[in-house]
Structure 1
């Protein structure tokens, strides 16, 4: 006779909060545990209990520590404004996890260094392009271009983290294989075309004692670059939130404003006009050269050229209609057999400011090696590489 497993009495509200802050529905949890939704409901009302095996499964599913299940207080996530195109779409579990990690990291770094983000204030009457120019003056930097997108992104991350005391990190924000996504474009299909696709989060930002910008790890550097400055604009406007970033959006709302800011910061109109003068005409080859010069996506460049009158609307529409699927497949195959640079991935997940403050505290013996590992959410071998 099969021995009955021991059931553990836990706080119902805690179990419900753990599930909800992990982005799982009752039906999803029931399926994972191979039980009925009715049982999950009864457990979350304190009328029934999980077995030890079920609790261990939930620990792996929710990615919470086992101690969290035995806590008396329910975890809470601050409510973030949702600026996505289709706000009815469900956020992925990866996005929920990224949110949790973000708030935890922000609080820990605040406790370690006592710093506060220094977000400058500008007039609310400034247009997006004007704000971009004023912000560049504030940073006191020249336009970074004629480099690979990844290098431009790295340079701007360091500048922004240093000047604003913010954390800039990357997490996978979707569960779709990134090789199957159309990475070379920023175009986001409208809800009517997108179906039930939930993977529409490009980035998000949190405004707190230490503000954080989170980019989608699975995006190309050129797309991350645009997302970064889109979120910077949200911080400057004091309305941080979660974004899908459709660069074609033209409704005059905050998302359109932030897109204009990002485009003007990365591709200043006067600078672009100077570059365009170097060419006799603007065709496919010249557009590709300009895209490489500024390190942005081709679609971003074409929209900028369209708005300045250098290309016709038909040219832009043809670009959208003639996406080269074979090229995407080639890129996918190259990535499939390539090795991931885990050092770089984990460095991007912790950010420059976080690593700098944790390393400083560890070397000053204010925190232990174990605490360093926990704050950065890294395996031992990577903590040894990064802070020893």
Structure 2
């Protein structure tokens, strides 16, 4: 086939591919190095693209070329309608990076479903799932979630160490057949976490650029989403405005997560909490560490329990935001000054999900899948397999 040959494409299909990849027409045309008018003509069917132009679109939209040759746009789950994001009311736009991570989550879940048939022993499955409904008191739901994850059985000192607490929580969630992944390049202002409540093998994805303590809270928050069978994007902030109906689920999940991480009796009986009448940023930073929570989550917990006022929260929130922004700047500067940065394969294992990597590798070693399959499922080259395996066992 000549590279200059024009390829007929069904009307609406290219527009569907662009939209579901998270690109508006201006950005897509810029990335494709064409004028918007030409892109519009391709999408309407007025002008047929060449095979090279079609390949460029397939690459940009992260779709197989064959999909762009279908007779009509496929009918699929509309993420933009059914998922929420942390933006202004009514803002349902997603970045291309978030679209890509959402598709990756769906793809990895499909792999686990396939492995469940080809190599059942390689995949963790559990019928013991955590379930709640919004009629349950959030405090009781939080207690049940804490028990479900075995948080009271964690080694002493685990909860006060951010990284150890997060790892213990992720392992507890994964032990119930839930896929826990992390993002690669989604801005934290857009997404803290999201979940896909499809069974079996539901998915929780955390923002890899977030701090361990907020990640832990997000993980608990998304566990509540799964328990409600209501996956969505995670918004950990409270709104000063009257909540929309969909925000009630977010508020409920926040309260359940807070209850699981910071049990009411422990917070109310804490000596520092009992002795404090006026909270400061320094006081919050110190007290929150003992509960494994971020200072903002801890302050919101105090408000919920009647131990602090909303005025205190809104007074301290700018200081908290500035504190977190400074820590992120310092972390970036530290990474720049560190030769090589974080070990590539450790980050790779974290993003894919350690239990997912272990399942794929076990299926491969059991000869249930081929060498082609294992590199495809893990998105690596074959000669990198050993290094990834070493990283996931650390």
Please tell me the TM-score bracket, short chain as reference: 0.7 to 0.9
- SS of the aligned residue for 2:296 comes to helix
- Which residues of 2 match residues 82-101 of structure 1 at below 5 A? 82-84=83-85, 85=87, 86-101=89-104
Superposition deviation, residue 100 in structure 1: 0.9
Superposition deviation, residue 169 in structure 1: 0.3
The 2-side partners of 1:208 and 1:64 are apart by 23
Structure ranking higher on relative contact order (CA contacts 8 Å, 6+ apart): 1
1:114-163 CA distance string (max 9 Å, x none): 46664333465311111111223334441755432222111111111112
- SS of the aligned residue for 2:204 comes to strand
**Residue 220 of structure 2: which of 217, 220, 229 is its match?**
229
Equivalent residue number for residue 264 of structure 1: 259
The 1-side partners of 2:203 and 2:363 are apart by 20
Superposition deviation, residue 8 in structure 1: 3.6
- Assess if the C-alpha contact under 8 Å between 1:105 and 1:376 holds in 2: no
- SS of the aligned residue for 1:57 comes to helix
1:263-285 CA distance string (max 9 Å, x none): 11111111223333587546544
Equivalent residue number for residue 171 of structure 1: 183
Equivalent residue number for residue 137 of structure 1: 147
Superposition deviation, residue 90 in structure 1: 1.6
TM (norm. structure 1) is: 0.81
The 2-side partners of 1:104 and 1:125 are apart by 34
Equivalent residue number for residue 350 of structure 1: 352
- Which residues of 2 match residues 1-388 of structure 1 at below 5 A? 5-12=4-11, 14-70=13-69, 74=73, 77-80=76-79, 81-84=82-85, 85=87, 86-114=89-117, 118=127, 119-122=129-132, 124-142=134-152, 145-163=158-176, 165-172=177-184, 174=186, 176=187, 199-209=189-199, 210-247=201-238, 251=243, 253-276=248-271, 280-281=275-276, 283-284=279-280, 285-322=282-319, 323-324=322-323, 329-338=329-338, 339-387=341-389
After superposition, the CA RMSD in angstroms is 3.1
- Assess if the C-alpha contact under 8 Å between 1:17 and 1:76 holds in 2: no
Superposition deviation, residue 229 in structure 1: 1.1
- SS of the aligned residue for 2:170 comes to helix
- Assess if the C-alpha contact under 8 Å between 2:221 and 2:253 holds in 1: yes
- Assess if the C-alpha contact under 8 Å between 1:77 and 1:100 holds in 2: no
The 2-side partners of 1:218 and 1:77 are apart by 30
Equivalent residue number for residue 120 of structure 2: none
- SS of the aligned residue for 1:205 comes to strand
TM (norm. structure 2) is: 0.80
Aligned length: 363
1:219-250 CA distance string (max 9 Å, x none): 11222111111111011011112233324577
The 1-side partners of 2:262 and 2:42 are apart by 55
Superposition deviation, residue 13 in structure 1: 5.0
Using a 3 Å threshold, how does the CA distance of structure 1 residues 291 and 274 change in structure 2: closer, same or farther?
A: same
Using a 3 Å threshold, how does the CA distance of structure 1 residues 257 and 29 change in structure 2: closer, same or farther?
A: same
- Assess if the C-alpha contact under 8 Å between 1:147 and 1:293 holds in 2: yes
The 1-side partners of 2:327 and 2:3 are apart by 56
Using a 3 Å threshold, how does the CA distance of structure 1 residues 332 and 253 change in structure 2: closer, same or farther?
A: same
Using a 3 Å threshold, how does the CA distance of structure 1 residues 74 and 363 change in structure 2: closer, same or farther?
A: farther
